[in-house]
Each structure stands twice: as structure tokens, then as C-alpha cells.
Chain A
């Protein structure tokens, strides 16, 4: 992974000093609330319902074991002993005290971490595939490019007061595991006609109040132009994005208003001024970025033998077999797998993890996966490089810690924002809804029979739970002061990206498990062969689901 040099370290150290001074001045009454607001937001600090919430940046989801141990220490010492993995692969603390935030940032800086630009109207954490570098379907490792974007976007002087937040995602594989169509900018590494890899650039995707799938602004961009081209897009947005209405301020609204052709012309005009300038990437810089993401010292393993031994183990212990099938993923190196650790056990808020579990995962990363861990935008964690022969002992240790729920990609692996329990923006709670669904569908055999299914819950229009792109989406809405839930179907975050369609009138919280059960029963009755929920839905449309759900409700 990327290791700071003296320059990176100096920048985060000076950032800590800056925020310490800003906090001091705020508490002394020298900075007004209005002034402190953007400053604290750009350091990841929200003021929430019960306490401030601090969002810590995890650049493109990559963590070392030392960083994970530091996070465990911080949650224990400054918070209530648990942390939360967000849908931007970041880590959130729910109970820090404002006065101690500068100290938390100093602790983070000591392990090359920070909270820079994890909220506010600026460029946020760049996200990518949680299987970057190990996926079998990868064209090139996206992480060096994410790091190049991270450095360019960190404390960028021109783009700290944008009309609205700005999110960039990078994908470099056949299957899109980074949801690039739902980002302000989505970048895909892909070959041109001559076979040379470059970037396809999508712009104006996004969720929130007006969900939009991104449009192609550039079919293929030479790699060295990445930063000047991004800068041109941001400059057009910063000058022309709406600032009169925060719900119309995202770049997707600007792209829609201008039309993608006119938007592209504006970007090209800005780019003409920046193109081939000093921010053009050099071979040396790309080589330097790539040098941090080389393969770890993999053992030379006979993949066939290892696979057979594993199959025998799975047959002898079907509970392990379930976990092996659902929670491990093919690896490009024979004899290895990537392991997803489910943070979706029933009864625990999706994405939450305790200090002890963090410490354990750090130890497991050291023992089994070259000392590295990853966070995923589905709010789980990953050990990316585990030898197949070690999977059984790893599983046993995870099981003891309550971290072996075998549900990755299935209904109960649901994505959920913190909701009304914590968030002051939320219209409704989301965690109890998630728990009620998990409790209703605890039978693993039934879950596996339903096949891959993504269920996403957001407590409000801001869509932190990405409800629009869930196969089943649930959105908390406010109806005359009461919490209700709107259900949508058919969303998708993959390359066939789609925005879900609203089923009909909203439901009370108690009704949601029944509604989901009816949706699933409709699916099961209409399913042909091994169809997934999404395939059946795409074939039959929303009507049969609607009929069943609302017939029962009458």
C-alpha cells in the first residue's frame, strides 16, 4: 500500500495543527458557527443528533494492520468501543467529543491517516473495487490511479468550496464493483482500439433526491492527461454548478441542464488551457505510484491440490462450506482467495465493528493476509490474500468473534445508513428496519435459495444507503411527522446500472418485514430456473409485485 514520505507526513501534520487552532478559536468564540461549519466538515466532523460524528478517511478502502490497531485504540479511548464502516469505505465514530477531535486527528496522523475532505462541499474520498489488485477480471490495478487522484484532490485550493459534495470512483475490471455510474465522476480503465489502456470518463451520475446514471463525457483519455482533465471538469462545475438550491447543486443537475454535448464542449474549452501543463502525469510519477502496489510475496502453490483439499474440508463441514461459497472470492493467484468478513450479523447495526474485533482483524491480517485489510462500500471488510490451505483455521477464528456470518451478496448482507438513530438529516430510522429484516430472514437455506440479492436502506433522500441502486430499496420518508418507508424495486449498481422504480404508497416500520416477505414470495412464485431476483423482476416488471404487496395491505 502507499507509504507516506516526508511531504505527505508534513501535510497531514500541518493539517492537524490547523484544525487544532480552528477548534480552539471556535471554542473561544473567535470563529462563528457559520465559519466553523465548512472547516469542521472538511475535517469529517458533523454535529449529529447525540454527539458529533467523525468520519475518518480510508483512501480507496485500504488499511494496514497498524492502522486498524490504531482505530481500535481510538474507538476504545475516545469513543464507545465501536466504529462504523460507511458506504464510501470510510470509518465513522459516533461519539467523539469536539474538544478531543484534534487529538484523534493527531493519533491518526501518527499512522498516516486523516479525516481530510470526508465531508463538506469538496472532493471526497476516491473509492474503488475492494478486490483491486487480486481480482481475476482486472485489466490493471486501479489503486495507483486512486492514489494519484487522492494526492491531487487533497487540500486542492480551487475546489474546497464547490456547489456541493463531489465523489469520484475508479473501476478497472470487467465487473464494476465500484458503482462508477452512480458517481459525480466515474473513471473506467479500458483499452482503445489499439489495445492501449486509458480512461473512459463518466460524469453526472449520482443518487440523492434525483438519481441519475452517469453520462460519458470522454470515451477514451490518455492516462497522462487524467489530472488535467479532472481539473477541467471540476472547473466547469465550480463555475457553473447551481448554488441557489442545494438539492439542485450536484454536477448531475448541471450536466442535465446543459446537455452532455454542451457540457463536454465546456470541459474541452477549459482543458485546452490546462492540457499538457505541469499537472500532466510523468512516467516517473506513474511508476512511483505503481511501486507501492506490487504483488506481495505469494507462495508458489499447486492450485489444483489446494482446491481439492478445500472441497473435501467443505464437504466434511457444511457450515464452513456455506461460508466458503458465500464469503470467499476467486483470486488471480492459484491457491489464494479473497475473504469478505461480514459486518452484517443479525442484531448488530450493519457495518458496525467493535474495538476487539478490529484488534482481532489486525492480528488476522498479519497472520493470513500480508498485514493488510480493506473496507468495502457494502460495509464489510476484506482480507484479500489468504492461502486456501489457511481458510479453515481463519474461519474458525472469525466464527469465535462473531465475524463469520455467511451471507455476502445475499438478502441479509444489506446496506444501511446510520439513519435517525444518529443522523440529524434522517427522516426515519434505518437500523431497526435492517434488524427486523435480518431477524425475519435468518434461515440461511432460504437466503441461499433466493440467490444474490441486494437490499439497501436509506433514512432520507440523501441516499447514504444507496437505496436507488438496491434490487430492493427502502427509503425513510416523513409523513406528517411520522416515519414511513417507501419501497423501490429493480435498482442495480453493476454495469447494467439502473435506478429502482417506486412500488407505491409507503409503509409503516412494522409492515416492512411483511412487505419484503411478500416481494420475495412473488419472486419465488414467478422465478424461472435459477433466475436472480433482479432477472425475474426485469422479465416480469413491477406489476405482479405491486399486486401482491398491496392486495395484502388492503
Chain B
């Protein structure tokens, strides 16, 4: 089973990447956005987004989803960072899983954008992904894991 990181621990589960070629959603595979859309009655409780998918399509269904996976086909395509923040800002509370070809050194930013599970395509370095997940203890911007920007926290400290 593929390894992943959840709640700062290495674990494994049986979810596999979506199979876009198929009309059917294979067992243990995330559905693609078109597959999720085609399923009636919002019976599917997971979906995997690809770069280029329109996040707003999920807006009304967020509380019907347990896992939204956001795929990174290459490490330089940063669209998924915005998708994650967008989903969290729209109120999504379920698991947000980064999948695919991101690298350990991106986990810190991914986490700040709202991801809480990390399932790299190559799980042989999974410890490194965990090790790189909290390399900064301070940050300037507001983000999902720290909703107040540093300037507001500075002010609170100054009283």
C-alpha cells in the first residue's frame, strides 16, 4: 500500500491515483473531477483534482467530500497551492491530500496552504517528506494553518 503522511505521522492507506482513461471509477482509485461529476446524487465521497480543473465546481458539495486529492503532475506546476487555499477559504474541512510529483522541500508550503495529507508518487523517501514539513517556525503571511499575518500577531504582542 502506498505510504503517506497524515497528522505528522507516516501511515498507509489504499487510495490510488485517479484513472482518467476509464468511464468507471475503479475500486480504491480516486475519481477524477469528470467522474465525480458524472456520478449521481453525489455518492462519491472523494475526488482528485488535476491542474486546470475548476475548483468552484466543488463549491456546493464540500460537506459531501471526505477527501479531496490535488495532484501535482510535475513539481514546478504550482496551481495546486492556490486550489488548496481556495478550498479551505470556501470552508472545506475534510482531508486535503497532495498527490503526485511534489518534493519533500515543498511540504512546508503545501501544509501552510491547507494540505493535511501528503502522498508522494515515489514514497521511498517518505521520512524526508516528514522531516521537511516544518522547517520554518515563523512566517509573514496569513495562511490556512496560521490565519493571522505576522503584522497582526506583532500588534497583539505589543498589546
- Residue numbers of A with Cβ under 8 A of B are 5, 7, 10-11, 14-15, 17-18, 21-22, 30-31, 34-35, 38-39, 121, 151-152, 154-162, 227, 235, 238-239, 243, 273-274, 277-279, 281-282, 284-285, 288
What is the CB-to-nearest-CB distance from A270 to chain B, in angstroms, rounded to a whole number? 9
B82 lies within 8 A of chain A by Cβ:
yes
A239-B79 in contact (CB<8A):
yes
Q: Kindly state the separation between the CA atoms of A161 and B148 in the bound complex, as whole angstroms.
A: 23
Which residues B94-121 have CB closer than 8 A to chain A?
103, 105-106, 108-110, 112-113
Question: Residue of B at shortest CB range from A273?
Answer: B89
Question: Residue of A at shortest CB range from B85?
Answer: A158
Interface string of B125-136 (1 = CB under 8 A from A): 100100000011
Q: Kindly state the separation between the CA atoms of A198 and B86 in the bound complex, as whole angstroms.
A: 27
Q: Kindly state the separation between the CA atoms of A121 and B83 in the bound complex, as whole angstroms.
A: 18
A160-B154 in contact (CB<8A):
no
A-B pairs with beta carbons under 8 A, tally: 116
B77: chain A residues within 8 A (beta carbon): 161, 243
Given the known A-B contacts A22-B105, A34-B75, A35-B103, are A158 and B82 also in contact in the complex, defined by CB atoms under 8 Å? yes
A288: chain B residues within 8 A (beta carbon): 151, 154
A158-B139 in contact (CB<8A):
no
21 CB-based A-B contacts, threshold 8 Å? A7-B138, A14-B138, A30-B128, A35-B75, A35-B105, A151-B150, A156-B140, A157-B139, A158-B81, A159-B78, A161-B77, A235-B86, A238-B78, A238-B81, A273-B86, A278-B142, A279-B149, A282-B152, A284-B158, A285-B152, A285-B154
Given the known A-B contacts A157-B112, A279-B141, A279-B142, are A238 and B79 also in contact in the complex, defined by CB atoms under 8 Å? yes
A159-B137 in contact (CB<8A):
no
Interface string of B48-71 (1 = CB under 8 A from A): 000100000000000000000000
A10-B138 in contact (CB<8A):
yes
B81: chain A residues within 8 A (beta carbon): 157-161, 238
Q: Kindly state the separation between the CA atoms of A157 and B112 in the bound complex, as whole angstroms.
A: 6
What is the CB-to-nearest-CB distance from B3 to chain A, in angstroms, rounded to a whole number? 18
User: 10 closest A-B pairs (Cβ-Cβ)?
Assistant: A161-B78, A157-B112, A157-B109, A285-B151, A151-B140, A278-B142, A158-B81, A238-B82, A35-B103, A279-B142
B41 lies within 8 A of chain A by Cβ:
no
Of A5, A10, A235, which one neighbours B82 at CB under 8 angstroms? A235
Q: Kindly state the separation between the CA atoms of A243 and B78 in the bound complex, as whole angstroms.
A: 10
B142-A277 in contact (CB<8A):
yes
B151: chain A residues within 8 A (beta carbon): 151, 281-282, 284-285, 288
Q: Kindly state the separation between the CA atoms of A152 and B142 in the bound complex, as whole angstroms.
A: 9
Question: Residue of A at shortest CB range from B125?
Answer: A30
Q: Kindly state the separation between the CA atoms of A227 and B152 in the bound complex, as whole angstroms.
A: 13
A155: chain B residues within 8 A (beta carbon): 136, 139-141
Q: Kindly state the separation between the CA atoms of A5 and B155 in the bound complex, as whole angstroms.
A: 13
Given the known A-B contacts A35-B105, A239-B82, A277-B142, are A158 and B155 also in contact in the complex, defined by CB atoms under 8 Å? no
Q: Kindly state the separation between the CA atoms of A151 and B154 in the bound complex, as whole angstroms.
A: 13
B110: chain A residues within 8 A (beta carbon): 157
A121: chain B residues within 8 A (beta carbon): 76, 78
A18-B135 in contact (CB<8A):
yes
Question: Residue of B at shortest CB range from A38?
Answer: B76
B89-A160 in contact (CB<8A):
no
Q: Kindly state the separation between the CA atoms of A17 and B106 in the bound complex, as whole angstroms.
A: 16
B76-A11 in contact (CB<8A):
no
Question: Residue of A at shortest CB range from B105?
Answer: A39
What is the CB-to-nearest-CB distance from B136 to chain A, in angstroms, rounded to a whole number? 5
Question: Residue of A at shortest CB range from B75?
Answer: A35
